[in-house]
Amino acid sequence: MIRRVLPHGLGRGLLTRRPGTRRGGFSLDWDGKVSEIKKKIKSILPGTPCDVLPDTSHLPPEHSDVVIVGGGVLGLSVAYWLKKLENRQGGMQVLVVERDHTYSQASTGLSVGGICQQFSLPENIQLSLFSASFLRNINEYLAVTDAPPLDLQFNPSGYLLLASEKDAAAMESNVKVQKQEGAKVCLMSPDQLRNKFPWINTEGVALASYGMENEGWFDPWCLLHGLRQKLASMGVFFCQGEVTRFVTSSQRMLTTDDEMVTLKSIHEVHVKMDHSLEYQPVECAIVINAAGAWSAQIAALAGIGKGPPGTLQGTKLPVEPRKRYVYVWHCSQGPGLETPLVADTSGAYFRREGLGSNYLGGRSPTEEEEPDPANLEVDHDFFQEKVWPHLALRVPAFETLKVQTAWAGYYDYNTFDQNGVVGPHPLVVNMYFATGFSGHGLQQAPGVGRAVAEMILEGSFQTIDLSPFLFNRFYLGEKTQENNIM
């Protein structure tokens, strides 16, 4: 079957393929001989010569059961669980579309790679507990025949969260929930803190919570590579390109509240090829929106949020890119190898990076301090003015630190309640979300991917009930607030 190649604003173009050259030093002579042979053949055959068929090897398939928009860890996790849980091996065709094959601006690779269970919501705690198990047993999930085992370089040093007097009661309440969900977390007084971590200054600290198991940090790039490698072995198709359009069909229906609504279904995705005017239409049954910081743009392509204000049709996906800085510094007299990831009362955080007295950290800005997300340039003054003073107060040794390097990355920030969006859209019935985690998407990706796959294959969440993360809450105004976001 010849694939359709539809250039933007152009008719069908003709691509010619140059014959390959032979090995050795005779390429010029060989090309000349081929040219002569072609001329002789054309002079003998009647009629006009046939046009060479277009080369379509770079295009996605014309049909795919599922199209996943976004090839970061969340999108790859959905693809993995769809293939793992499918009823018949090889029965489901899955396409992952990622516009940046280098992942140079992807949140996955620019993350600090942390994982913890010290959240305020049971669902987030459960997701991270499952992810910790997944990461610790990574080769049971992602092993590929004849490939070396994955080493995520998991460092189980834990998280240490510090609370001031005004936040101590909330911390106690959070730890109670965390323990009920099975997390190994303990509360520490200022005296206990000083005894265990003598390098810390407890001024302004009323209480601390410390993760004793399944917390720390790992290599995000290794997880990304392991998922892509496993998915390739499972038959998942990857495509570098950008989704530019959805072709939908619709029908109108009356709700129980006598409100007329329009239900849409996506049946074709247009994928614009990288560095090209061409796009490929892909017929599909399901679309997964895992586009991270840009997922609201993908939702808008399907008409989400374009209805009258105050209606379900007019409710937008409240996810936007927020820029976050990560700084790396050296401090020869800094905390030792037992140092956990420390989250200060000020919002500043740090952890060790390797074994050579290096550390990395940063702080989320206030709403008034939010930087322009148009680029990933680093504001070094932000460290000097907003981060370093808090670090030096909490760890006096950091007064002499020297910044080595820095980078910026994006949060897929949910402006409504800083929590994930998981599951189907109520009106665009075959678009499913896996986005909006506001900084904890990487660590929760294994559990989120499984949940989305369950919803698609079984019609409901099976292992962890993520109903509070459904899209409907934005229309209803029901926040699922997560309080522990760094």
Q: What is the arithmetic mean of pLDDT over 219-232?
A: 96
The CATH code of the domain that includes 369 is 3.30.9.10
Boundary-marking domain end, from 173, 193, 211: 211
pLDDT digit string, tens, across residues 154-194? 999 999 999 999 999 999 999 999 999 999 999 999 999 99
Number of independent structural domains in the chain: 3
In 3D space, the residue among 374, 42, 75, 379 whose CA is nearest the CA of residue 238 turns out to be 75
* 474, 304 contact by CB (below 8 A): no
Q: What is the mean pLDDT of residues 64-76?
A: 97
Nearest C-alpha neighbor of 136 from the set 212, 79, 214, 78 = 214
**Boundaries of domain holding 202:** 159-211
pLDDT at 1 over 90: no
Q: Is the pLDDT of residue 419 over 70?
A: yes
Report the candidate in 287, 321, 315 with the shortest Cα–Cα distance to residue 424: 287
Q: Among 255-269, 306-320, 436-450, which stretch is predicted with the lowest mean pLDDT?
A: 255-269
Q: Scanning the structure block, which residue is given the tokens 């990461």?
A: 135
Weakest-pLDDT range from 42-56, 84-98, 253-267: 42-56
- What pLDDT is recorded for position 15? 35
* Selected residue with higher pLDDT from 48 and 234: 234
Asked if 296 and 150 sit in the same domain, the reply is yes
Q: Both 227 and 282 in a single domain?
A: yes
Q: CA torsion sign, 72 to 77 to 78 to 79?
A: positive
354, 389, 410 - which closes a domain: 410
The reply to whether 478 and 356 lie within a common domain is no
Q: Is 158 left (phi over 0), alpha (psi -120 to 50) or beta?
A: left
What's the confidence (pLDDT) of residue 58?
67
Confidence band of 253 (pLDDT split at 50, 70, 90): confident
Residue 274: the pLDDT is 79
Scanning the structure block, which residue is given the tokens 């229906």?
253
pLDDT level of residue 5 (50, 70, 90 thresholds): very low
Q: What confidence score (pLDDT) does residue 56 get? A: 52
Summarize pLDDT for 434-474 with one digit per residue, the tens: 999 999 999 999 999 999 999 999 999 999 999 999 999 99
Q: What's the CA gap between 130 and 463, in Å, rounded?
A: 10
Mean pLDDT across the chain, nearest whole number? 89
One-character DSSP codes across 244-306: EEEEEEEEEEE-TTS-EEEEEEEEEEEEEETTSSEEEEEEEEEEEE--GGGHHHHHHHTTTT-
Q: Which DSSP category does 463 fall into?
A: S
CATH number at residue 426: 3.50.50.60
Give the pLDDT confidence of 268-297 residue by residue, as tens digits: 999 998 777 888 999 999 999 999 999 999
pLDDT, tens digit, 9 for 90 and up, residues 14-62: 333 333 333 333 344 545 554 554 454 444 444 444 444 455 556 889 9
